[in-house]
Amino acid sequence: MTEEQLRQQLNSGRLSKERIIGLVHTLLEHPQLTKTLWLEVLQQDKEGEFNASWVFDHLVRKRPTLVLPFVNDFIGNLKNLQSESCIRPMAHSCQLLTEAYFEKKNPEYLRAISNESLEELVTVCFDWFIGEHKVAAKVFAMTCLYHLGTRFDWIHPELLQILQDTIASGTAGYQSRGKKILAKLRETRS
């Protein structure tokens, strides 16, 4: 598959789950196209489209290391996303990245992601978490913030306070994840 063929596939109308899975398999065979896919996410976000972001998220679920060659560019451009349909899958991709970095301590991630990019990710995740975003983005962002708080010690007290203030009025999904994060935060404090 070429870059142009990938763009054509991503811009040929709404993608079914089967087509997304098919594109992911093709991209796994052509990993050099991952950056092209990311650039298409950014372009489609401006146009109110989201096929590329769905494919990107599914690709990262299968092989998250494909983001590493441009991970600092990826993180640096997250703040520019506007569409909720793009933010949600990118927030999920960020959760996968922070889990690999902080929980699994994967050496590839530790080498690839700069401290400056982690700081940028903190800002983006707080924006998604406290901003006017849908619950999925908030849930993924709160998980990222929990992990990032193991590096930046000021995050956990802020996250704890925000969750305590908002959990009662959150959706069922927000409350469920929020309770888990609160339990982890309280555990780390004792």
For the chain, the domains span 1-69, 86-190
CA–CA gap between residue 114 and residue 129 (Å, rounded): 22
pLDDT for 190:
65
Residue 148 has pLDDT above 90, yes or no: yes
What are the DSSP calls for 38-56, one per residue? HHHHHHHHHHT--HHHHHH
Amino acid identity at 121: L
pTM recorded for the entire structure: 0.95
Secondary-structure breakdown of the chain: helix, strand, coil percentages, each rounded to the nearest 5? 80, 0, 20
Supply the pLDDT for residue 188: 83
CA 70, distance to chain mean position in Å, is 14
Convert the pLDDT of each residue in 17-64 to its tens digit: 999 999 999 999 999 999 999 999 999 999 999 999 999 999 999 999
Q: What is the pLDDT of residues 9-27, one digit of tens each?
A: 999 999 999 999 999 999 9
